[in-house]
Amino acid sequence: MAKHIFVTGGVSSSLGKGLTASSLGRLLKSRGLKVTMQKLDPYINVDPGTLNPFEHGEVFVTDDGGETDLDLGHYERFVDESLHRDSNATAGSIYQSVIAKERRGSYLGRTVQVIPHVTDEIKDRIRRLATEDVDVVITEVGGTVGDIEILPFLEAIRQFRKDVGRQNVCYIHVTLVPYLGPSGEQKTKPTQHSVTELRSRGIQPDVIICRSDRSISAGLKRKVSLLCDVPVQAVVSCTDSPNIYEIPISLHEEGLDDYVCELLGFDADEHPIDLSAWATLVRRVESAERPVRVGLIGKYVNLPDAYLSVVEALRHGGFVQGVKVEIDWIQAEEVEGLLGAGRLADLDGIVIPGGFGERGVEGKIAAATYAREAAVPCLGLCLGLQVMVIEYARNVTGLAQANSREFDASSPHLVIDLMDEQREVVDMGGTMRLGLFPAKLMPGSAVAAAYGAELVYERHRHRFEVNPRYRSRLEAGGLVCSGVSPDDRLVEYVELPGHPFWVGTQAHPEFRSRPDHPHPLFVALVAAAADRAEGRLPHLIDVSEVS
């Protein structure tokens, strides 16, 4: 039977529950255990797919097309496992399922209530992950203890221990221990109140993770232990870290995984930990000193979490080359003004990420033009590929006013358009290509060299495609469609021969990059950017060099 770990948070949001859960997942996996992870979100949206990035950060996409919370990106990057749509459940999806069952008569006319019907649905979502090949399911409960919308989830995980047995469940509570400058003290009172609130819901935490900007003293640990009724060894100090990939090692040094394994009945002799590979990664991160400046051209740059996976993928691309990637956050709407000021001239590379809507598109097109003309390495992601195609069509192939149907349906040259079968349904909500799709890469192309393969799979999240009616015109003008769908209908990659690195992909490769398995396209981009920074002739790094 799979063991279950539930991670809750108190006092404040953004304490790092997701990173804590991810780090524990890495520690348990390093002991040879099969780990999977899940996020329960209390908001009423059915999924985060329709949320503005300013509301909830980026939308992460799984292999099977699930639009999920960004914490799933942390989970995948740390435990190095591909998750799926069942790994994220929102209150909206829970209630939607319960109401659908009621409408079908599944409850046989009974009064439908939060307990037991909603809580049973939540528990069912947790059980779905506990397959025969899984040893541990780590479930993070979003929000903060005390929030009104979190109550059904707390009740469900309280019941869950009774359902599967006390020895099969561990509750971890992440809380804040603030430092008060005037008094020069760390205060445990917020932690005490948070644990009291959790206990009022019937849950006694087994482990308390104390988040702080400095280490928690042995005396404070004893105080938390006494007042919150947990053993001293179950009070874990987790301090702020400039490098998130250090967190698993810090938590291991605090004894977190040892205590959790003992609590859940995993024999330490049968599951010894091996953190050597992760420690090597951390040393590589810390030794990366050569600066490379990459401009990220987006419209949500005031909230970096909107591009979390892109930033992490860039960092991963730098780790393997001893390069420290410095992000220059550039508002897309301001690009045209910045060109005159010369700000883009200081960049070693450019990334044009995905997005929806017209705002900022002309700035992204201007950035693609600058990168092409100034030989600045540039990677376009999803919408980034589309603006690169629009830019090339306008400025090289002579298709004046070329555009996308998304931005200007009256354009005489819709080089980016809906596929024919999509046009009939777009007004009813449209269709999107979501999840993992294959692509054939052109032998000898830059993308084939980066991947070291000619058939690849990447995750997608988009509706519009390169218009096949313009493909021959674009290729005649020098743009290479270097990756296409297996049926040759859809353009998946474009590139410009002779340029250091001017590559666009219709996919979101950032979602599949891991710190110990960096994505080849980001490795290639950072390599070209590093060459530019150091005045060398740009080249593409072979993916075999980073395996």
Which residues are marked as active site?
382, 508, 510
Helix (H/G/I), strand (E/B), else coil: 359:
coil
Q: What span, in angstroms and rounded, lies between the C-alpha atoms of 289 and 284?
A: 10
The angle at the Cα of 242, spanning 24 to 147, to the nearest 5 degrees, equals 55
CA 121, 123, 124, 126 torsion: positive or negative? positive
- Render 412-426 in DSSP notation, one character per residue: S-EEEE--HHHHTTG
- Per residue, what are the HEC states of 50-117? HCCHHHHCCCEECCCCCEECCHHHHHHHHHCCCCCHHHEEEHHHHHHHHHHHHHHCCCCCCCCCHHHH
Q: Which residues share a beta bridge with 439? A: 456
Task: Locate all alpha helices (DSSP H) within 288-419, ordered by sequence.
Answer: 308-319, 335-341, 361-373, 383-395
- Contact 435/460 with Cβ under 8 angstroms? yes
Q: Are strands 465-466 and 414-417 parallel, antiparallel or unpaired?
A: antiparallel
d(CA 413, CA 86): 41
List strand residue ranges (DSSP E) for 285-334, in order.
Answer: 290-298, 323-331
> Which residues, at least 6 apart from 171, have a Cβ–Cβ distance to it below 8 Å?
5, 6, 8, 157, 161, 203, 204, 205, 206, 207
